[in-house]
């Protein structure tokens, strides 16, 4: 398994973990920004991180049948973890604001499902996926992600298996530290188009 230092090095090398002054989709400001799509676009580095995470998943869960990931960020991560663990892998998509299974994907009754994401912050997407599992009569056995940046404040009450836990501070625009206020703010991410 990769150490925290090795994992952080890979995340920074691939621009999956950026430092500067960022305005998040929530409107809060942060000195760091996480974009796992950058990691996943570099298969050799993504494989290292996902292999390590898959080992942690194997240690944490005795057995499960299926991996479910939320679109878009979790799809590639879920696929790679599924490939490494030889598990059937599907993803959910938003339809009118709600996660649904499409493309003839199914969760069978009593199927044990692991929810896999790229990043967990509030845990909202993961919990929406878990509700979907319940709606189909399956059982969510746990949650896994590359980066857990929930700082223990996730809505998820179960343990989250992650490759890296990051405590990234956030600030309102009228409460910025001087060093952060001195840097020009940018709005990264897919929701800020």
pLDDT band at 193 (very low <50, low <70, confident <90, very high): very low
DSSP letter string, 1-15: ---HHHHHHHHHHTT
Q: What is the pLDDT of residue 192?
A: 45
At 132-172, the pLDDT tens digits run 999 999 999 999 999 998 877 777 777 889 999 999 888 89
pTM of the model: 0.86
Domain count, the chain: 1
Q: What is the pLDDT of residue 150?
A: 83
At 61-117, the pLDDT tens digits run 989 999 999 988 889 999 999 999 999 999 999 899 888 999 999 999 999 999 999
Residue 163, CA distances (Å) to 56, 79, 134, 145 in order:
8, 16, 26, 7
Q: What is the pLDDT of residue 189?
A: 65
- Tally of CB atoms within 10 A around 131: 13
pLDDT band at 190 (very low <50, low <70, confident <90, very high): low
pLDDT band at 43 (very low <50, low <70, confident <90, very high): very high
Hey, what are 84's tokens? 């490494």
> Contact, 68 vs 176, CB < 8 A?
no
Angle of helix 73-85 relative to helix 43-60, nearest 10 degrees, comes to 70
Q: What is the DSSP letter of 171?
A: B
CA distance 163 to 147: 6
What's the CATH number where 39 sits? 3.40.50.2020
Full domain range(s) for residue 58: 4-192
Angle of helix 43-60 relative to helix 4-13, nearest 10 degrees, comes to 150
- Taking residues 20-49, report their average pLDDT: 90
User: How big is the CA angle at 155 (ends 152 and 161), to the nearest 5 degrees?
Assistant: 60
């Amino acid at each position: 398994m990769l150490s925290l230092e090795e994992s952080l090095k890979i995340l920074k090398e691939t621009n999956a973990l950026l430092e500067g002054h960022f305005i998040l989709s929530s409107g809060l400001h942060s000195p760091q920004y996480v974009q796992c799509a950058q990691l996943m676009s570099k298969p050799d580095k993504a494989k290292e991180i996902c292999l390590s995470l898959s080992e942690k998943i194997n240690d944490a869960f005795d057995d499960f049948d299926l991996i479910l990931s939320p679109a878009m960020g979790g799809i590639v991560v879920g696929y790679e973890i599924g490939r490494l663990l030889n598990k059937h892998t599907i993803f959910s998509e938003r339809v009118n604001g709600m996660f649904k299974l499409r493309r003839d994907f199914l969760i069978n009754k009593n199927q044990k499902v692991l929810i896999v994401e790229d990043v967990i912050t509030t845990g909202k997407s993961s919990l929406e996926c878990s509700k979907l599992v319940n709606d189909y009569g399956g059982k969510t056995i746990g949650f896994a992600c590359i980066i857990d940046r929930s700082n223990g404040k996730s809505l998820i009450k179960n343990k989250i298996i992650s490759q890296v836990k990051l405590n990234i501070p956030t600030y309102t625009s009228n409460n910025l530290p001087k060093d952060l206020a001195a840097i020009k703010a940018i709005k990264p991410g897919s929701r800020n188009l």
